[in-house]
Structures are given as structure tokens and as C-alpha cells.
Amino acid sequence: MTTAEQKQEPEFIQYKYPRTQHYWHALGYQTRAVEGFKQGKIMATKCSKCGRAMVPPRIVCPECYVEVTEWVDQGQRGKLVAAFKIGYPMYDRRTGESQVWDKPVVAVQMEGGALLDGWCSETDLDKLKPGLLLEAVWRPEEERIGAYDDVLHWKPVEK
């Protein structure tokens, strides 16, 4: 055996395998929010005590611990709270593969008060300042599945 061969890393066997978890998620009262997304509406529950609006909806306010019964359409516009770009290929649990995400992720505070995450059409982070007014751009109705990314992206409102 030559010195070069001796220096080679010994063989260690590894097995690579994808593991798919198939799940059934009972939406229950959240169905109303899912149906809302499909119709191009953002529906939130609103606490009668503290006024907090929640997407995805909660049935009990985590702060006040009271039952939440009021549903409020959050409108189509909201203010930017935070924005960031995912600068590395991040794992997508829908496919099991790492993926490059071009659009920035934004947190939007809706006119109705709810906070939600989404994609932004503006890729220049310097232009994404807190308080910027954003508007929802929806996917075509036939592509919607009842989820956050039925909003294709959030677009800054031209003044």
C-alpha cells in the first residue's frame, strides 16, 4: 500500500432516504379562513376583550383567555412591519428539497389589525421600510389552495 492510499479516508457506508409524512389536518373553525383565502379574502378572528386579530385564527385569545367569536375581513392592504431575504437555499417541507427563495419575506400588519407573513414583489430591501403600505396580489382563483401563499406577493402601493 502506498502512502497516498493509506491517507485515504476509510469507507463508511451511509444510506440516504426521503421520509414522507402524509398528514390529515382537521381545520375545524379555521375552515373559514381557508375558504376566505380561496375567495381572495383574509379572514381573522378578533378578541372582544383586547381587540387582537389573529391569522391563522385562534378560537381562544392567548392573552385574555376568552372565547373568540367575531370574524373580521382584514381588507387588502397592510403596513410592512419587517422584511428579510432568505440568503441561502432553504429546505422546503412541501418537496423535501432545498430551494432558493428569491422574493423577500415580509410581515404585514393588515388594516384590520392582524399580522401575517407573505412574499414581497419588491426585491430591493432598502426600499422596504417599516410602515410601507402594501397591497395583496392574489394568484388566479383556480390556483388557490386556501393558504398564505394564495397571496402571490405583497406589492408596494404607488402613491
Tell me how far, at minimum, the Cβ of 76 lies from another protein, in Å.
Answer: 18
Binding site for another protein (CB under 8 A): 10-29, 31-32, 34-35, 54-56, 58-59, 62, 67-69, 81-82, 84-88, 90-98, 101, 105, 107-109, 115-119, 125, 146-149
* CB 143, min distance to another protein, A: 14
The identity of residue 77, as a single letter, is R
Return the amino acid letter for 27. Answer: L
116, 148 contact by CB (below 8 A): yes
Q: Considering the complex, state which of residue 68 and residue 72 has its C-beta at the smaller distance from another protein.
A: 68
| Least Cβ distance, residue 106 to another protein (angstroms) | 9
Which of 98/123 has CB closer to another protein? 98
Q: Give dist(CA 91, CA 79) in Å, integer.
A: 28
CB nearer to another protein: pick between 18 and 159: 18
Q: How far is CA 133 from CA 39, 108, 120, 155, 159, in A?
A: 22, 9, 12, 8, 10
Nearest to 143 by CA among 152, 134, 135, 153: 152
Nearer CB in complex with another protein: 18/158:
18
Give how far the C-alpha of residue 115 lies from the chain's centroid of Cα atoms, to the nearest Å: 11
Smallest gap from residue 79 Cβ to another protein (A): 10
